[in-house]
Structure 1
Amino acid sequence: MKYTTLAAAALLIIGGSYLSAKATLFDSSDNITVETYSDIFFKLESSPVNIDEIITGASQFANSLCDESIYQEVIGESVNSCKQKFKQSQAQCADFITKNSQAMYTDKVAITLVSEKFINCMTNS
């Protein structure tokens, strides 16, 4: 139940942040630097995305989930415990994902699955 709620909330936040950022994007997507989760998908519109960019975007997304105090309360965590898990597991999870994934991605579904694996690794550590 906890993970179903997490997945549902994550999808809502991902979709909302993607649409929100898409609505305000007026630049060319040729030279997008991935800093947020939604940047991954903007860049994907014009070029492949590498695993490091996916990790960067997914890290930002996971960190933003930690900042949602009501969400953390619903899943039985706190902002501080979430951030502590994030900090302790980020490097190890990034290493695991890098070793067990492709170097480049062109498919939204594959990117979403890799992002979910990375976020799950960080939240289940």
Structure 2
Amino acid sequence: MKYTTMAAVALLIGGSYLSAKATLFDPAQSITVETYSDIFFKLESSPVSINEIITGASQFADSLCDESIYQEVIGESVNSCKQKFKQSQAQCAEFIIKNNEPMYTDKVAITQLSEKFINCMTNS
């Protein structure tokens, strides 16, 4: 009886764990892109939209602005980077959306598009 109870508890815990993992990694579930790395995580199970690329690339560019040493090396400051970012984000997003495909499945194309968007925002 003791072993039967322990086995039942182990099966319950194991089943719950596997069920949770299956739900977490279910490709049918929607993955919300909030960071640059989310783009590539979502890409493993479904195409990525141009708006999701912009969201992820914006987060990445914003995080670059927060790196004071990096900003100093390139001759900028955190404040000037953030200011450029705010001033150019909408215009650069509009340009990227207008001149590119709505959905992507290729990592190289996504990386190139992200770089183009980030360069647009930081070189304005």
Give the TM interval when normalised to the shorter protein: 0.7 to 0.9
Match of 2:86 in 1: 87
Match of 1:97 in 2: 96
Q: Deviations over 1:69-124 (max 9, x none)?
A: 00000000000000000000000000000001100000000000000000000011
Q: RMSD value over aligned CA atoms?
A: 1.0
Detail structure 1 runs of 4+ shifted over 3 Å in the superposition: none
SS at structure 2 position matched to 1:77 = coil
CA distance in 2, matches of 1:101, 1:116: 13
Structure 2 counterpart of 1:70, which letter?
A: I
CA distance in 2, matches of 1:32, 1:69: 31
Instruction: State, as a whole percentage, how many aligned pairs show the same letter.
Output: 84
CA distance in 2, matches of 1:82, 1:109: 26
- The number of aligned residues is 100
Q: Deviations over 1:25-52 (max 9, x none)?
A: x631542100000000000000000000
Structure 2 residues without counterparts, runs of 5 or longer? 1-20
Residues 1-125 of structure 1 mapped to structure 2, 5 A cutoff: 27-28=24-25, 30-125=29-124
Structure 1 counterpart of 2:53, which letter?
A: I
Q: Give the greater-gyration-radius structure (CA).
A: 2
CA distance in 2, matches of 1:106, 1:113: 13
TM normalised by structure 1 equals: 0.78
SS at structure 1 position matched to 2:54 = helix
CA distance in 2, matches of 1:75, 1:108: 27
CA distance in 2, matches of 1:113, 1:101: 11
